[in-house]
Structure formats: structure tokens, C-alpha cells
């Protein structure tokens, strides 16, 4: 079982790729929450651990939900994937997802029982996602609406991490936190579009990629817009806590590099450049989260030390 799980995570939920980004989300949310409340320093280890482990469980549960939702299509068009080829069953994955939910409950009680309400909100939205909001056919005909409705789960998970730091109830922190969630939403779109860009020769029958649905040019345009909106939201959020300079110093060069990669892919969408787009998308999100969280906090600490 452990060997099969290891193979499954390597193919469908690679921890080596997901864990750093999810850890950055948790660290960003908890660190930025302190900055939004005009507090210096870094978040406690307990807050970070609860935010990180809970968020990791959320994203795994989303993967399991997708396995259920896509099972018929996978069996027909992608029989090489772990579930249709018999490596692991949907029931086994569901049992693990339920165990992850039990861990989330335990962590919420351990940190602050008030987290249970936020946990239920995230779970409820995830359940609606699995049912495709009961308008699945309508959404499938409108890829933009489909993506937007599903990407709202990213700021909700971000919000849960913010709740772990106890900042949601403070009115003075709400504008910075709204901007933080916007940055998370648009970064989620960057990752979503970036991971579904292909070279023409790599497109598969029955696999709904953005490069196939929208075409390469429109997909890259959507990706660039999402990246710029994420960068603007993050910079404005950083400005509200006095960390605008550090955010611009990091995100402007990163955006320039990312957009250059997008232009190269658009001009010649080769398999290598398509893989580069996926890597750049994850790298951008990771850098944005780190900028809004620990790097902004360190910048504030250094600024305070210089003025002592």
C-alpha cells in the first residue's frame, strides 16, 4: 500500500512540487496577517504547522475529488493514469482523504476551536465543486466561468490559513487581507492555466487543455493578464503594510522573466517551452507568496532595526 501511495503521489500529487508552494501559502498568510495588524516578528510555529498541514490536506482532497469527477473520462481517454490502470482505487483514495479531514479537525481543535467554522466553509465549497455547482453542463460550455468558479477555492484555503493566525476579526486588517486573497486568486489562475498549456503535438483526445480550448494566443494572453493582476494585487497589499519597495524589487523582475517565457512559448509552442510555462507558473506563485509573507516581514524588521 505504501509503495502504491508513493507512486500515486509521484504521478498525481508530487509532494516535491506541491509542498513548497503550499508551505509558502501558509507562511505567507500567517506572516502577512501579523503585518496587517501592525505586529512585527514572525508567526508562531504552531500557527504555521496547522495552516500548512491543513492546506496540504485541502489540496489532496481536491485531487481526490477530481479523481472521482474525471474517472469516466480518464478510463476512456487516459487509461495510463493510476486509478484507471488499477494502481489504487477511488475507495482507497477516499479513505485517505477522510483521514486527512480527521487530521484537519484535530488540528483545528488543537489551535483554536473557532477554526471549525472556517473549516466547514472550505469543505462546503469543495463539495459544491465536486457537484460542479449543479450546473456542470453550463460551466463546461464556458471555460472562463468554470475556471473562475473553481479557482475561488484558492483564496478560501488562503483565508483558512489567515484564520489560523487570528487576523480575520480585526477590521483594521481587512483591506490588506482582501488584497492578499486577490493576489492568491489570480496566482491560482496563473498556475491553473500554466499547467494546462501544451505543444500541439502533445495535445490528447479528451484532455481539456487551455491551449486546445482557447488556442495558444488567447491562453497566453489570459495567463499574462492573471500574472499582472496577481502582481498588482500583491504590490498594493504590500504597500498597505509598508513593504512596497521589497515587493516591487522582487516581483517586477520576476514578472519580466515570466512574460518573456510566455512570449517564447506563444511564438513557438514546443513541448519544452510548454513545460517551462508550467514551471514558471509555479515559481511565480511561490515567489509571490514568499514576498508577501516572510520577505515582507524581514523587510519590516530590518527597517525597524535601522531606525532604532
Query: CA angle 189-16-73, nearest 5°?
Result: 55
Neighbours of 153 (CB within 10 A): 19
Could you read off the pLDDT tens digit of each residue along the chain, which spans 308 residues? Answer: 899 999 999 999 999 989 998 999 999 888 888 888 777 666 788 999 999 999 999 999 999 999 998 898 889 888 999 999 999 999 999 999 999 999 999 999 999 999 999 999 999 999 999 888 988 888 888 888 888 899 999 999 999 998 998 766 665 567 888 999 999 999 999 999 999 999 999 998 878 899 998 999 999 999 999 999 999 999 999 998 888 998 999 999 999 999 999 999 999 999 999 999 999 999 999 999 999 888 887 777 666 656 55
pLDDT of residue 165: 84
Question: How many Cα atoms are found within 13 Å in the side-chain-facing hemisphere of 144?
Answer: 7
The residue with cell 501592525 is: 38
In 195-243, where does DSSP find H-type helix?
210-213, 216-240
pLDDT of residue 275: 95
pLDDT of residue 171: 54
Helix axes 45-69, 90-111, angle to 10 degrees: 160
The residue with cell 524581514 is: 298
Which has the closest alpha carbon to 48: 161, 141, 140? 161
**Helix, strand, coil content of the chain in percent (nearest 5):** 80, 0, 20
Can you give the pTM of this predicted structure?
0.90
pLDDT of residue 80: 92
pLDDT of residue 208: 83
CA 138 from chain centre, in angstroms, equals: 25
Could you give the CA distance from residue 308 to residue 295 in angstroms, rounded to a whole number? 20
CA 299 from chain centre, in angstroms, equals: 24
The domains found in the chain, sorted by start residue, are 2-302 (1.10.600)
- 29 CB contacts (<8 Å, ≥6 apart)? 51, 158, 159, 161, 162, 164, 165, 180, 293
Burial of 102 (0-12, 13-18, 19+ CB in 10 A): exposed
Sign of the alpha-carbon dihedral angle for 61, 179, 165, 20: positive
Phi, psi (rounded to 5 degrees) for 60:
-65, -40
Amino acid at each position: 500500500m505504501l509503495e502504491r501511495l508513493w507512486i500515486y503521489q509521484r504521478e498525481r500529487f508530487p509532494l516535491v512540487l506541491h509542498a513548497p508552494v503550499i508551505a509558502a501559502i501558509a507562511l505567507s498568510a500567517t506572516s502577512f496577517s501579523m503585518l496587517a495588524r501592525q505586529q512585527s516578528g514572525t508567526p508562531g510555529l504552531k500557527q504555521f504547522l496547522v495552516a500548512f498541514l491543513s492546506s496540504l490536506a485541502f489540496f489532496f482532497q481536491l485531487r481526490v475529488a477530481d479523481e472521482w469527477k474525471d474517472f469516466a473520462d480518464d478510463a476512456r481517454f487516459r487509461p495510463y493514469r493510476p486509478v484507471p490502470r488499477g494502481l489504487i482505487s477511488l475507495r482507497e483514495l477516499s479513505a485517505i482523504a477522510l483521514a486527512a479531514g480527521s487530521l484537519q479537525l484535530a488540528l483545528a481543535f488543537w489551535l483554536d476551536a473557532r477554526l471549525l467554522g472556517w473549516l466547514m466553509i472550505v469543505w462546503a465549497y469543495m463539495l459544491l465543486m465536486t457537484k460542479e455547482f449543479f450546473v456542470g453542463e453550463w460551466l463546461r460550455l464556458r471555460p472562463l466561468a468554470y475556471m473562475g468558479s473553481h479557482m475561488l477555492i484558492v483564496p478560501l484555503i488562503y483565508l483558512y490559513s489567515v484564520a489560523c493566525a487570528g487576523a480575520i476579526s480585526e477590521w483594521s486588517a481587512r483591506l490588506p487581507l482582501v488584497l492578499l486573497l486577490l493576489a492568491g486568486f489570480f496566482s491560482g489562475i496563473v498556475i491553473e492555466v500554466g499547467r494546462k498549456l501544451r505543444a500541439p503535438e502533445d495535445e490528447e483526445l479528451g484532455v481539456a487543455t487551455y491551449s486546445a480550448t482557447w488556442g495558444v494566443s488567447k491562453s497566453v494572453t489570459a495567463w499574462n493578464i492573471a500574472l499582472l493582476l496577481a502582481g498588482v494585487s500583491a504590490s498594493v497589499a504590500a504597500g498597505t503594510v509598508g513593504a512596497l519597495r521589497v515587493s516591487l524589487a522582487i516581483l517586477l523582475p520576476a514578472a519580466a522573466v515570466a512574460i518573456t517565457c510566455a512570449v517564447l512559448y506563444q511564438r513557438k509552442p514546443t513541448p519544452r517551452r510548454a513545460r517551462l510555462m508550467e514551471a514558471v507558473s509555479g515559481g511565480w506563485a511561490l515567489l509571490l507568496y514568499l514576498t508577501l509573507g516572510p520577505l515582507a516581514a524581514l523587510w519590516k524588521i530590518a527597517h525597524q532595526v535601522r531606525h532604532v
